[in-house]
Every structure is written in structure tokens, then in C-alpha cells.
Amino acid sequence: MNMISTKNEHKPPKTVCGNNTKPQAVTSTKTVTVIGAANAIGNHIPTFYIFPGKWWCDELMEGAAPGSHGGIAESGFVNRDLFERYLKGHFINHVGLVKGTDNPTTLILYDGHKSHVSLTLTDWA
């Protein structure tokens, strides 16, 4: 009979800390928010992740698809600042939109979540 452990076990390969400090593992049992984008013909851009926490750690992106990026929010949910960062940086870089050039019209459809509504984004669009 196989026993399944219900205990979270995380053993990082290397831990750096002082002799009198207990090492902390970068592990989360909380939900990670994912922002994805695709078009009608099936093209997509790399994922944008939002991790719960207070400090960014590059190891959070280990194993992510090339071109993926992310951010941190205490709640782990998207907020206005992160959504702006996603649109103004990640999204426009991957779809090839350049301010001040004659780009084709781009229609962005998204839900009505309050983090997606801001005067700054409306002016930017």
C-alpha cells in the first residue's frame, strides 16, 4: 500500500543564511494569479504571473515558459499597478505595439474587474 504524505515538503537544493538563522523556503500554498492573452487565430503571448508575497525572488520564475514575466502582490491577486505593468510593458512588447507608429487597431477584451479600470489606463489606451 502506498502512503501519500499530506505534509508540505520542500527541500531547496541550496540555502544561504547565517549560522543563527533558520532558512526560509520560497513555497506557497496560496493561489498564483495568471494573466494570459491569445487571439482568435490561436497566437498567444507568454504568461504573466502574480505571486503572493511582499518581495520578489527570481526563483519564482524558474521553469516558466520563455518570455514569461511576473510580479508580486500581498494578496496574490492582480491590482491596478500590476495590470498597468502587464499592459504597458509585457503585453505591448509581445504584440509589437509601438507608441507613435501607425499600428493596426488592437481590441482588448477583459472582464470588468476593478483592477482593470483606471483613468491612467484609459488615457494610455
Alpha-carbon distance of 54 to 124, in angstroms, equals 28
**What is the pLDDT, as a whole number, of residue 8?**
47
Q: Which pLDDT score is estimated for 9? A: 52
Closest CA to 76 of 50, 56, 58: 50
Average pLDDT, stretch 23-48? 76
Q: With residue 117 as reference, give the H or E element that holds it.
A: none
The model's pLDDT over 53-92, given as tens digits with 9 standing for 90+, comes to 999 989 888 888 889 999 999 988 888 889 889 988 898 8
Give residue 72's pLDDT: 94
